[in-house]
Structure 1
Amino acid sequence: MTLEGSLDAATDDDSVTFTLTVENTGSEPTTAQFSDGCRVDVAVYDGETEIWRYTDGMMFMQVLGQERFEPGDPRTFEVTWDDPTAGTFTAVGELTATDRSCEARTDVSI
């Protein structure tokens, strides 16, 4: 039961929208457990320095949850970085599940 991810970044004049796609590449359904209402996080790095994180300063509903991932049925999650800093960076998106890992990276130029 493997979850694999890909991360895309779409830029415009005043924001970057990151789309994390998570797909179960196994042959059986799998369920991911979450400790709150947040399902994904995205962080942006300039080299090794983190310059932005989606969840910084945010609060999420404190409720246990789960997401079921069927084989071959990709699920997408979007987050937006408003007023981004100009430059070329590496973005890392991850599923915030407590019992499964899924991470993807992409370079983004602003």
Structure 2
Amino acid sequence: MTLEGRLEADVTTAADGTTLVTFVFTVTNRGPTPVELEFPDACKAEFVVRDDGREVWRFTEGKAFAQLLTSETIPPDETATYEAEWVAPQPGGYVAVAELRAREVTCTAQTSFGV
């Protein structure tokens, strides 16, 4: 099993002037067989933002997710996409890390961005 992750951060400004950072975590199956992902709850990926190594934002912080087992299959050379949004970050330079929350399967990606 060969999963490859890619993380993108898109910084935009809403009509009301609020800054938004949209994260898109793409997981691609580079292997020859389908990959079955099993998730312990409705949250399929974690997103963490750090400033000089210090955590400043975590997607799951303060959120509750439905406690239901779910599964997803990624066929060979296909992708699955997971998204999160950070509202009103402070200006600065950051590193974001995304991690798949599937049982017994790992995939991570990171990217640097500025606000």
Q: Indicate the TM-score class for this superposition, using the shorter chain for normalisation.
A: over 0.9
Instruction: Give the share of equivalent positions with the same residue, in percent.
Output: 39
Cα distance in 1 between the residues matched to 2:7 and 2:55? 17
Q: Which residue of 1 aligns with 2:61?
A: 56
Cα distance in 2 between the residues matched to 1:98 and 1:85? 34
Q: Which consecutive unaligned segments of at least 5 residues does structure 1 have?
A: none
Q: Which residue of 2 aligns with 1:7?
A: 7
Task: Write out per-residue CA displacement over residues 20-62 of structure 1, whole angstroms, 9 at most, x where no aligned residue.
Answer: 0001110000101111010011100011110000110010000
Q: Which residue of 1 aligns with 2:46?
A: 41
Cα distance in 2 between the residues matched to 1:22 and 1:8? 12
TM-score between the two structures when normalised by the length of structure 1: 0.97
Residue correspondences, number: 110
TM superposition outliers: structure 1 runs of 4+ over 4 Å: none
Q: Look at both structures and tell me which one has the larger radius of gyration over its CA atoms.
A: 2
Q: CA RMSD in A?
A: 0.7
Q: Which consecutive unaligned segments of at least 5 residues does structure 2 have?
A: 14-18
Query: Is 1:104 aligned to residue 102 of structure 2?
Result: no
Task: Write out per-residue CA displacement over residues 4-30 of structure 1, whole angstroms, 9 at most, x where no aligned residue.
Answer: 100001001210000000011100001
TM-score between the two structures when normalised by the length of structure 2: 0.93
